[in-house]
Amino acid sequence: MATPVTKIRFREPQIEMAHGAGGKASRRLVEGLFAPLLFGTSPGPLGDAAHIQINGTRIAMTTDSFVVNPLRFPGGSIGELAINGTVNDLAVSGARAEAIVCTYVLEAGLPTDVLEAEVRAMACAAEKAEVMIAGGDTKVVEHGKADRMYITTTGIGRLLSGVEISPQSVRPGDKVLLSGPIGDHGITILLARGELDLEADLRSDTRSVLPLVQALVGKAGAGVRWMRDPTRGGVATSLNELARDCGHGIILFEEKLPVRDSVRGACELLGLDPLHIANEGQFLAIVSAEHAESALWALRGTPGGEEAEMIGEIREQPAGAVLVTTLYGGSRLVDMLVGDPLPRIC
Amino acid sequence: MKYVDEFRAPELIAKAGEEIRRLADPNRHYRIMEVCGGHTHAIYRFGLKDLLPPNVELIHGPGCPVCVLPMGRIDDGLSLAAQPDFIFAAFGDMMRVPGTHGSPLEYKARGMDVRIVYSPADALKLARNNPEKHVMFFAIGFETTAPSTALTVVRAKAEGLHNFSVFCNHVTIIPAIRAILDSPDMRLDGFVGPGHVSTVIGCRPYDWIAKDEGKPVVVSGFEPLDILQSIVMLLRQLRKGEAKVENQYKRVVPWEGNRAALRAMAEVFELRPYFEWRGLGFISQSALKIRASYAQWDAEQRFSVPGVRVTDPKAAQCGEVLKGVLKPAQCKLFGNECTPEQPVGALMVSSEGSCAAYYNYEHRKPVTIASAAAN
Amino acid sequence: MDSQNAHLAVVDVVGVRRKVDLGLLLDEPPVPGDWVLIHVGFAMSKISEADAADQMQTLTMLGETEAAMQEVRGYGLENEEHDQRGQRSKL
């Protein structure tokens, strides 16, 4: 009996860098090629982690790869990103990371002490995040084929009680919360590459957001509709995905967006928008109006959440889009990132 | 941030908005062109159109150097750099601009050494640090950027760095404004004058617009208050039936311009007899090329350039949008075949191109958003 | 100011620092403490503190001149004035 051939909707002839940037192109690739072939007929909206039932127990599972240049940067390194990234994906899906396995793809010629430093960093991050590293795998590829090292981590976790995340539960009137200042990580990396001859006292914000998520869920679990960690593509991309998935509009108040002066300054100089810059230690939460105030205070009262802000709200219009308003009544739409954020001159 | 935050103060912006509403004659429909791409971007980014009464209309002009670059020049530049051991260096703005066979970023994906630089000096630094390679800097920009390219070429000569050249696409702003005013379809009441070009050329070059064409010009800064104040100043002139050149951006723009910058430009550049502008056709004396005395650093004099002429697809109405005759949404390709992800014309690629700005910031805003924003 | 390359200086914008070329301002070189407009890594112009303050003053007073004039007219101390639309201004 012939099995039907699943057609893919992805039409582009080759893979470009933009497909990995976390914005529209990435979404096209995932939704148009991976999802139809791997996830069955109707995968539903794609979240940060998958929730699976095994013998009546619901567990969350996620995976992520880490490719960063340079490997070490102010505030962290690839080893920490690899742990925190997966812990965070689980956390924002409403789960506590229990165990992680990791794969290292190493480039031949990589100095051992560089590898050691990253493995130590990973161990340290895992201890801080209270997650066990259960195993791993290593491969070595020829020189020139792996940008020094690539790390993939896969994590499983137990669902936190009292919270049920779904974009469909988001309603007009809900509030948008953000755990802290945005843009730190992406700009730190951009500057650390040394190509732009800019210097700033900035560090990556990489950290586990689980304690903050737990504080939020503990206080307002019933009102938490949706969460996400805005990594590649930034807040704008994450919220555009939500807007598309829930069908409502998201209004952000520009004056409420927490952005450090140095990030703002670098973005002004380079013509970038902080809303499109990657973060590795923050998360967004949509919380019902009744719970929003106490949720915000729960975050602010938790170490690391002092700069949390209520940055916006859900409205019916503009349906499916994200709008940023200014104090003086001006507004602009903010779309997902198209490719990589490119410095703008003119 | 000093000199930025004050010019974004909400109360002052509100005041400026009120003054504009007070000054605008309800029986008139004002059409004001902002020439410079940086102003187009600022207007959209700060949502300034929301603050203007419906009878004050802002028309976007052709002051976007990426937008007016013909595709053939991109093809030429990329084919020059396709030689082994070449590094193609350009500003971030250029990286996604499509040539016939792809954009610089796409060429990079196919193996060409393409680097983003923030300054022509960075490109020279690349040459210094990579003596075995040749660095070709794809230069674009109006008179704002040209002096920096000029100074970099002077330094290259002084240092005797021969593995560096410039593919020069610098253009000048006055011929573009003239082309707009000569266009029969255009009716304009005044101009928001380019802010940064004017730091170099000063305010005198706009005299003819006021004297001969009878249109007021206000040279403007880029913060919300700057642009709004410039509109206030234009409306005041129009109310009084005046037409003169004013400098709103006094804190930065010297009336006489920057002599050192003009000297640097004169040292290295001369005017081309004519140059093709995307959408505007051939305009004489409108672009710069490198003088023979610096031939060694001119990619066109040193290497042979194919000189490809590529016409835009017939359906693309970049020219009319550039001249302000059509609004972006009125182009047949807008939002369908031509989007920021698959741009057909440069106006959709460059973040200051009116089409990209409109698409990214505005076009899906239903009218009800104005009230949503106000709530 | 960089001593090796006399035309280079370090510029600071809210903690973001960049080497900037002063080659276009040699006629009136800026000194540390001055603010400059930078474009593609080159300083293009010095920012005049006096002009900026002047401008802020003008902006702050926007609308106040008109408001003051309306008040004065309301006193009836001068002949009624007609604005361009031929209507009398009223308080």
pLDDT band with cut points at 50, 70 and 90 for residue B375? very low
**Which chains does chain A touch, 3 or more C-beta pairs < 8 A?**
B, C
Place of tokens 């991050």: A125
- As a whole number of angstroms, the distance between CA B173 and CA A160 comes to 61
On whether both C57 and C37 belong to a single domain, the answer is: no
C91 lies in a domain?
no
Q: What is the pLDDT of residues B158-189, one digit of tens each?
A: 999 999 999 999 999 999 999 889 888 788 99
A58 part of a folded domain? yes
Q: Which amino acid is at A270?
A: L
CB contact under 8 A, B116 and A317: no
- Say yes or no for a CB contact (<8 Å) between B264 and C24: yes
How far does the CA of residue B163 sit from the closest CA of chain A (Å)?
19
Average pLDDT over residues B122-151: 96
**Taking a C-beta distance cutoff of 8 angstroms, is the pair A283, A235 a contact?**
no
Q: Work out the average pLDDT over A63-70.
A: 91
Which pLDDT tens digit goes with each residue over A126-141?
999 999 999 999 999 9
Residue B121: pLDDT above 50? yes
Q: What is the pLDDT of residue A186?
A: 94
User: How many interface pairs between A and B have CB atoms less than 8 angstroms apart?
Assistant: 131
How many other CB atoms are there within 10 angstroms of residue B2's CB atom? 11
Partner A, chain B 242-271, Cβ-Cβ below 8 Å: none
Radius of gyration of chain C (CA): 24
Residue of B nearest to C57 (CA): B12
Report pLDDT digits (tens) over C22-78: 999 999 888 888 888 888 889 999 988 888 888 878 877 776 666 666 666 655 544
**Interchain CB contact of B29 with C (< 8 Å):** no
The Cα B36–Cα A346 span in angstroms is 9
Greater confidence, C20 or A101?
A101
> Are A198 and A115 in a shared domain?
no
pLDDT tens readout for residues B301-324: 999 888 878 877 778 888 888 888
What are the helix and strand counts (H, E) for chain C? Answer: 2, 4
CA dist B125 and B116 (Å) reads 13
Any chain C CB within 8 A of the CB of B241? no
Domain identity same for A247 and A279: yes
Residue range A12-41, pLDDT digits in tens: 888 887 788 777 888 889 888 998 888 875
How large is the ipTM?
Answer: 0.86
Q: Does residue C17 belong to any structural domain of this protein?
A: yes
The pLDDT tens digits of the residues spanning B282-292 come to: 999 999 999 99
| A250 and A106 in a common domain | no
- pLDDT tens digits, B207-251: 999 999 999 999 999 999 999 999 999 999 999 999 999 999 999
What's the pLDDT score for residue A47? 72
Kindly report whether the peptide bond that precedes residue A318 is cis, defined as omega within 30 degrees of 0.
Answer: yes
Residue B326 CB contacts under 8 Å (≥ 6 apart), including other chains: B317, B320
Strand B245-247 and strand B190-193: the pairing is unpaired
End-of-domain residue from the set A132, A159, A186: A159
CATH number at residue A191: 3.90.650.10
Domain for residue C58, yes or no? Answer: yes
pLDDT score of B326: 87
The whole-angstrom separation of Cα A70 and Cα A77 is: 8
Q: Is the dihedral of CA A203, A206, A208, A214 positive or negative?
A: positive
Place of tokens 């920012």: C47
Domain holding A89: CATH number?
Answer: 3.30.1330.10
Cβ pair B253, B297 in contact under 8 A = no
For residue A341, pLDDT over 80 is answered with no
Are residues B147 and C42, on separate chains, in Cβ contact within 8 Å?
yes
- Cβ–Cβ under 8 Å, residues B346 and B278: yes
Q: Where does the pLDDT of residue A90 fall: very low under 50, low under 70, confident under 90, or very high at 90 and above?
A: very high
Residues of B in contact with A330 (CB under 8 A): 13, 46-51, 224, 373
* Cα(A336)–Cα(A9) distance, integer angstroms: 20
C41 touches chain A (CB under 8 A): yes
* Percent of chain A topping pLDDT 90: 67
Please answer yes or no on whether C18 and A201 come within 8 Å at the CB atom: no
Interface of B with A in 159-188 (CB under 8 A): none
A239 and A104, same structural domain?
A: no
d(CA A287, CA A274): 23
Indicate if the alpha-carbon torsion angle B332, B338, B340, B344 is positive or negative: negative
Q: Is the pLDDT of residue B371 over 50?
A: no
pLDDT band at B370 (very low <50, low <70, confident <90, very high): very low
> Considering the domain boundaries, does residue C89 fall inside one?
no
CB pairs below 8 Å between A and C: how many?
A: 31
Full residue range of the structural domain in which residue A86 is found:
50-159
**Is A178 inside any structural domain?**
yes
Asked whether the beta carbons of residue C23 and residue B151 sit closer than 8 angstroms, the reply is yes
Residues C36 and C53 in one domain: no
SS3 C16: strand
| A59 and A112 inside one domain | yes
Q: Residue A223 above 50 pLDDT?
A: yes
> Which residues does chain B have within 8 Å of residue C25's beta carbon, measured at their own beta carbons?
258, 260
Q: What is the pLDDT of residue C66?
A: 61
Residue A149 confidence class, pLDDT cut points 50, 70, 90: very high
The answer to whether residue A31 sits within a structural domain is no
Do the Cβ atoms of C41 and B225 come within 8 Å?
A: no
Choose the weakest-confidence range: A164-173, A226-235, B93-102, C80-89.
C80-89
pLDDT of A297 higher than 70 = yes
Q: What is the pLDDT of residues B250-291, one digit of tens each?
A: 999 999 999 999 999 999 999 999 999 988 889 999 999 999
Using a CB-CB cut-off of 8 Å, the residues of chain B touching A344 are 92-93, 351
Interface contact flag, A325 B105, Cβ < 8 Å: no
* pLDDT(B297) > 50: yes
Residues of B in contact with C56 (CB under 8 A): 6
pTM of full prediction above 0.90: no
Domains contained in chain C, number:
2
Q: Domain end: A97, A124, A159, which one?
A: A159
Q: Do B264 and C23 touch (CB under 8 A)?
A: yes
DSSP character string of A4-51 = PPPPP----SS--GGGGSSSHHHHHHIIIIIHHHHS-S---S--SSEE
Beta bridge partners of A332: A324
What is the domain count for chain A?
2
Task: Give the tens place of pLDDT for each residue, B343-366.
Answer: 887 788 777 788 988 887 777 665
Cα–Cα distances (Å) from A217 to A212, A250, A258, A298, B335, in that order, read 9, 22, 22, 9, 41
Residue A328: what pLDDT? 80
| pLDDT given at position A36 | 86
Could you tell me which of B97, B249, B74 has the C-alpha nearest to residue B169?
B74
In a domain, C33, yes or no: yes
Task: Using the 3D structure, point to which of A103, A137, A159 is the last residue of a domain.
Answer: A159
C17 has a chain A CB within 8 A of its CB: yes
Percent of chain A past pLDDT 70, that is, above it, reads: 95
Structural domain boundaries in chain B: 71-172+257-302
| Per-residue model confidence (pLDDT) at position A1 | 53
Three-state DSSP class for B355?
helix
> In this structure, is residue C87 part of a structural domain?
no
For B48-67, what is the mean pLDDT?
A: 91
Contacts of B10 in chain C (CB under 8 A): none
E strands present in chain A: 50-54, 57-66, 72-73, 76-77, 95-107, 132-141, 149-159, 175-178, 198-200, 224-228, 249-253, 284-287, 309-315, 322-325, 331-334
| Topology of the domain comprising B71-172+257-302 | Rossmann fold (3.40.50)
Of A138, A129, A144, A141, give the one whose Cα is nearest residue A101. A138
The reply to whether C21 falls in a domain is yes
Residue C40, in any domain of the structure: yes
Whether A153 has a pLDDT exceeding 50, the answer reads yes
Region for B85 from its dihedrals, namely left if φ exceeds 0, alpha if ψ lies in -120 to 50, beta otherwise: left
CB pairs under 8 A between B and C: 102
- Looking at the fold, whether C16 and C37 belong to one and the same domain comes out as yes
φ, ψ of residue B367 to 5 degrees: the values are -55, -30
Which residue segment(s) compose the domain that C25 sits in?
8-47
Q: Is the confidence at residue C80, as pLDDT, over 60?
A: no
**Among A289, A310, A308, CA closest to A225:** A289
B20 in Cβ contact with B231 (< 8 Å): yes
| Residue A270 confidence class, pLDDT cut points 50, 70, 90 | confident
C13 with C26, same domain: the answer is yes
Q: Best mutation site among A252, A328, A344 for testing chain B: the one with the most B CBs within 10 Å?
A: A328
Residues A228 and A294 in one domain: yes
How distant is the Cα of B156 from the closest Cα of chain C, in angstroms? 14
Quote the minimal CA–CA distance from C11 to chain A in Å.
10
- How confident is residue B7, by pLDDT bands cut at 50, 70 and 90? confident
Do A240 and A171 fall within a single domain? yes
